[in-house]
Amino acid sequence: MSADTPSSRLTRYSVSLLLALMPASSAFAADLWTVARDALDNNATLSSARAGFGSVEAARDAQRGTLLPQIGGSANAAHNRIYNSQDSIQQSLFRPGGSGDSEDHYNSASLSLEATQALYDPSNRAQLEQAERQIGQQSMSVEATRQQILYEVAEAYFEILRAHDVLAARRAQEAAIVRQLEQARERFEVGLVAITDVHEAQASYDLARSQRIAAEGAMQVSFEALERLTGKRYANIEALADELPIEPPEPANRDTWVELAIENSPAIRGAEFAVEIARSGIDVSRAGQLPLVEAFANYQYADSDRDSLEGYDSNSQIGLRASLPLYTGGSTTAQIRQSTFDLEASQYDFEAQRRDTVQQVRSLHTQANNAVETVEARRQAIESNRSALEATRSGYEVGTRNIVDVLNAEQSLFTAIADHAEARYDYVLTLLNLRQQSGLLDAQTIQTVNQWLLENEPVSPELPEAPEGPESRVTNIGSRPQMPQ
């Protein structure tokens, strides 16, 4: 046994103080809305979509610039050296024996300015219209990503709470079965039951223990999803209230939800923009057969210090310029045909997206209505299994039921408890998924769900330590019990 040193006493005091402060710190547990805001601010996928939107906007502005006045200029300054060694026949006759070599050095400078304005430019105008539609498509992509992030945050959040509730059920199940195992061993030692009862209890305990270990792993791993979505690690989060409004989706009519989805779904609207973009692509291709008309004005200036020249040269022009492609080797016709096929493909993609969204909305609407009944049915199943377990235990005490019946009844009860927890979270997530597929998942929806949480019941990824004392067997029974000899 280690000595009780001042250092060890200080450590125990620090741990005790930390434990004493834990209830106060639970008030700072993150809720769903807090986590959702962190995701909207820090999620990498959403940030990438927003950056993509900015890029498409800049591309639109760049394309718009091609239809505005274009002004360009150039300047040149040079030192020139001219050497001439040629001589004509006439010069040679008058200068016998003479040389016609000559050399000249001089500096020169020139300036050129030109301004153009497109008057009729169908190609660039069609490309600008296409860029405008690409902005609309990208905005739908950002909105779809935003709603997807909100749903993924809610899904990750409630998966943590689901894992927590399942873990609680598995721990309670393990504690109940270990008590049955101890009773079976005690009865076997006094000769009241056969060794088979001990074996049955041992097998049930081993199964419960493995389920509890798996639930603990799922509980700890589930927090990683939130960190991936938000870039933050949370010490604890708020739990879902036992009582929450389990109601069918509103509006109740399934066709109304389908209409809302067709009108608001960012996936469908993005596919619509894709069709318009492809239609603009045909206009861009056809513009390759049309003329280009522009107004222009230019000015040129040139000067040098050459000995034989004085003054400077300048000229200016203003006018109209037109060009028309007469033959491009068939490439323009091929581009038009390609754009037509692109339009046809985008139309089929739109129809596929519409059908997929309609099917998803209809299925989720049905699932949401079924979830309402499932939650109530599984709540009732808990009461039924609890009554069945009490009756089975009573029968076991008087000898009309055996240990297997008791273990099966306990297994059924805790499975019903876990199933009820599963049903509650399935209900919430199905409602959120229905709104996402319909294009209606927004901050107000998350805030409404956030009101169903409890501030005073935080859920932490840290597993509790085994308490000291006789009750330690309930939460952590230690090593595997040994079979009696």
SS3 per residue for 293-355: EEEEEEEEEEEECCCCCCCEEEEEEEEEEEECCCCCCCHHHHHHHHHHHHHHHHHHHHHHHHH
- State the amino acid at position 382 in one-letter form: I
Residue 340, pLDDT > 70, answer yes
Average pLDDT rounded to a whole number, residues 240-269: 92
Task: Give pLDDT, residue 480.
Answer: 36
113-134 pLDDT, tens digit per residue, is 999 999 999 999 999 999 999 9
Give the type of residue at 152: E
**What's the rounded mean pLDDT across residues 400-417?**
83
Looking at the chain, the whole-number percentage of residues with pLDDT higher than 70 is 85
pLDDT surpassing 80 at residue 21: no
Buried b (16+ CB within 10 A) or exposed e, 452-467: bbeeeebbbbeeeeee
Overall average pLDDT of the 262-287 stretch: 95
Choose among 184, 186, 182, 178: nearest CA to 198: 184
Query: Kind and range of the H or E element at 154?
Result: helix 122-189
pLDDT of amino acid 10: 36
The pLDDT value given to residue 13: 37
DSSP output for 30-83: B-HHHHHHHHHHH-HHHHHHHHHHHHHHHHHHHHHHTTS-EEEEEEEEEEEEEE
**Confidence class of residue 98 from pLDDT cuts 50, 70 and 90?**
low
265: left (phi over 0), alpha (psi -120 to 50) or beta: beta
| Per-residue tokens: 218 | 């799922």
* Over residues 68-91, mean pLDDT: 82
CA distance 284 to 27: 60
Q: How far apart are CA 413 and CA 374, in angstroms?
A: 16
Assign residue 412 a region: left if phi > 0, alpha if psi is -120 to 50, beta otherwise?
A: alpha
> In the structure, what pLDDT confidence band is assigned to residue 9 with cuts at 50, 70 and 90?
very low
Going by CATH, does the domain composed of 27-72+121-292+330-475 fall within 3.30.70.20?
no
**Distance (Å, whole) CA 209 – CA 104:** 103
pLDDT at 437: 95
Ranges of each domain in the chain: 27-72+121-292+330-475
pLDDT tens for each residue of 444-484 = 999 999 999 988 888 887 765 543 333 333 333 333 334 44
Mean pLDDT of 103-115: 88
Q: Who wins on pLDDT, 98 or 45?
A: 45
pLDDT band at 269 (very low <50, low <70, confident <90, very high): very high
CB 476 within 8 A of CB 466: yes
Confidence at 84, pLDDT banded by 50, 70, 90: confident
All residues at 6 or more sequence positions from 360 whose CB lies less than 8 Å from its CB, including other chains: 437
* Residues 282-305 pLDDT 10s: 999 999 999 999 999 999 999 888
What 3-state class would DSSP assign to 258? helix
What proportion of the chain, given as a percentage, has pLDDT over 90? 53
Query: What pLDDT, on a 0 to 100 scale, did the predictor assign at position 309?
Result: 65
The residue length of the chain stands at: 485
* 195-204, 376-385, 389-398: the lowest-pLDDT one: 195-204
Question: If we measure between CA atoms, which residue out of 348, 342, 326 comes closest to residue 284?
Answer: 342
**52-88 core/surface letters (b: 16 or more CB in 10 A; e: else):** ebeebeeebeebeeeeeeeeeeeeeeeeeeeeeeeee
Q: How high is the mean pLDDT of the chain? A: 83
Backbone angle region of 86, left / alpha / beta, with phi > 0 → left and psi within -120 to 50 → alpha: beta
Q: Using 50, 70 and 90 to split pLDDT, how confident is the model at 433?
A: very high
pLDDT at residue number 12: 41
- Contact assessment for residue 346 and residue 274, using Cβ atoms and an 8 Å cutoff: yes
Note whether 137 and 353 are within 8 A (CB). no
pLDDT at 1 over 60: no
pLDDT in tens, 299-333: 999 988 876 666 788 899 999 999 999 888 899 99
| Residues 6+ positions from 319 with CB-CB distance below 8 Å | 295, 296, 297
Q: Which region among 8-17, 122-131, 246-255, 405-414 has the lowest average model confidence (pLDDT)?
A: 8-17
Q: Cβ of 406: how many Cβ atoms within 10 Å?
A: 25
Instruction: Provide the 8-state DSSP code for 287.
Output: G
The alpha carbon torsion through 403, 405, 407, 411 (nearest 10 deg) reads 180
> pLDDT-derived band of residue 352, with 50, 70 and 90 as boundaries?
very high
pTM score over 0.85 = no
Say whether pLDDT at 23 is over 90.
no
Give the model's confidence band at 412: pLDDT under 50 very low, under 70 low, under 90 confident, else very high. confident
Note the pLDDT of residue 28.
Answer: 67
Among 152-161, 175-184, 229-238, which is the least confidently predicted range?
175-184
> What's the pLDDT at 278?
95
